[in-house]
Amino acid sequence: MGQALGCIQVDQSNVVIREHFGKFDDVLEPGCHCLPWCLGYQVAGGLTLRVQQLDVRCETKTKDNVFVNVVASVQYRAIAEKASDAFYRLTNTKEQIQSYVFDVIRASVPKLNLDAVFEQKNEIAKAVEDELEKAMSTYGFEIVQTLIVDIEPDVQVKRAMNEINAAARLRLAANEKAEAEKILQIKRAEGEAESKYLSGLGIARQRQAIVDGLRDSVLAFSQNVPGTSAKDVMDMVLVTQYFDTMKEIGASSKSSSVFIPHGPGAVRDIATQIREGLLQGDSV
Per-domain residue ranges for the chain? Answer: 7-48, 52-153, 154-251
Asked which of 67-76, 111-120, 216-225 is least confident by mean pLDDT, the reply is 216-225
Section 136-159 average pLDDT: 87
- For the cut 80, the answer to whether the pLDDT of residue 101 exceeds it is yes
Q: Binning pLDDT at 50, 70 and 90, where does residue 203 land?
A: confident
Is 26 or 247 the better-scoring residue by pLDDT? 26
Mean of pLDDT values over 129-133: 91
Q: Model pTM greater than 0.75?
A: no
CA distance 114 to 121: 11
Q: Residue 26: in which H helix or E strand, if any?
A: strand 23-28
**Phi and psi at residue 75, in whole multiples of 5°?**
-110, 125
pLDDT band at 236 (very low <50, low <70, confident <90, very high): low
**What is the pairing mode between strands 67-78 and 52-61?**
antiparallel
Taking each continuous run of H as one helix and of E as one strand, the counts in the chain are 7, 9
The three-state secondary structure class of 12 is: coil
For the segment 153-175, the average pLDDT, to the nearest whole number, is 78
Calculate mean pLDDT across residues 154-158: 76
pLDDT at residue 120 greater than cutoff 60 = yes
User: What residues contact residue 105 under an 8 Å CB cut-off, 6+ apart?
Assistant: 58, 60, 70, 72, 124, 128
**Could you say which architecture CATH assigns to the domain 52-153?**
2-Layer Sandwich (3.30)
Bridge partners of residue 76, in order along the sequence = 52, 143
